[in-house]
Amino acid sequence: MRLTTKTEPETKNFGKKIASTLRGGDIVALYGELGTGKTVFTKGLAAGLGVKEEITSPTFTLMNIYKIQSPGSKVQSLVHVDTYRLKNEAELIGIGAEDYIGAPGTITVIEWPEKITSLLKLKTVINIHFKHGQTPSERSVEVRDN
Ligand SMILES: Nc1ncnc2c1ncn2[C@@H]1O[C@H](COP(=O)(O)OP(=O)(O)OP(=O)(O)O)[C@@H](O)[C@H]1O
Ligand SMILES: [Mg+2]
């Protein structure tokens, strides 16, 4: 499935829509160059999951964890990883990320997943690819099954 969004809110809304299809344990990998909308998408996804806090980019923290407080929800947390500044996979393991990635009560979103291929190797991942479009405010967003 691929769509072209023309505004930031449209990308956010797509994140919200994808959120409704997710279950605990799911891992969503967001591929794409700088500024293609991965964090914007994650903000919508978080809102869709019922995260009340503001989502900020984990570029420097590497991993942010948000509580999900929707009544009756089986998912307790959203983990947002950004490996852009990661030196190696060991650094992410060192901050305890393995306890969260793919854990049953957690949904994990990873920006720059290509940096942690061995960590993700044995896991089922939903891959979403972001690209700049024809105009400065256009983005192509494609969900792949592989
Ligand atoms: N259609 C659109 N969808 C999403 N963002 C858009 C769109 N049009 C313009 N933008 C702008 O593009 C930028 C996307 O930034 P965002 O932080 O989401 O990128 P990113 O892919 O997470 O980059 P990074 O790899 O640096 O983390 C924002 O400034 C946003 O306002
Ligand atoms: Mg980002």
- Per-residue pLDDT for the chain (146 aa), expressed as one digit of tens each? 999 999 999 999 999 999 999 999 999 999 999 999 999 999 999 999 999 999 999 989 999 999 998 777 889 999 999 999 999 999 999 999 999 999 999 999 999 999 999 999 989 999 999 999 999 999 999 999 76
CATH class, range 2-144: alpha beta
Ligand 1 atom index nearest CA of 42: 18
Ligand number, closest to the Cα atom of 34: 1
Ligand 1: residue whose CA is nearest its atom 31: 8
Ligand number, closest to the Cα atom of 80: 2
- Distance (Å, whole) CA 111 – CA 36: 11
Own/partner contacts of 129-138, CB < 8 Å, gap of 24 or more, are 129/31, 129/32, 130/30, 130/31, 130/32, 130/33, 130/36, 130/37, 130/38, 130/41, 131/32, 131/33, 131/36, 132/33, 132/35, 132/36, 133/4, 135/6, 137/6, 137/7, 137/8, 138/4, 138/5, 138/6
Ligand 1 atom index nearest CA of 139: 1
pTM assigned to the model: 0.97
The 10s digit of each residue's pLDDT in 16-27 is 999 999 999 999
Domain coordinates in residue numbering, the chain: 2-144
Per-residue model confidence (pLDDT) at position 70: 78
Per-residue model confidence (pLDDT) at position 53: 95
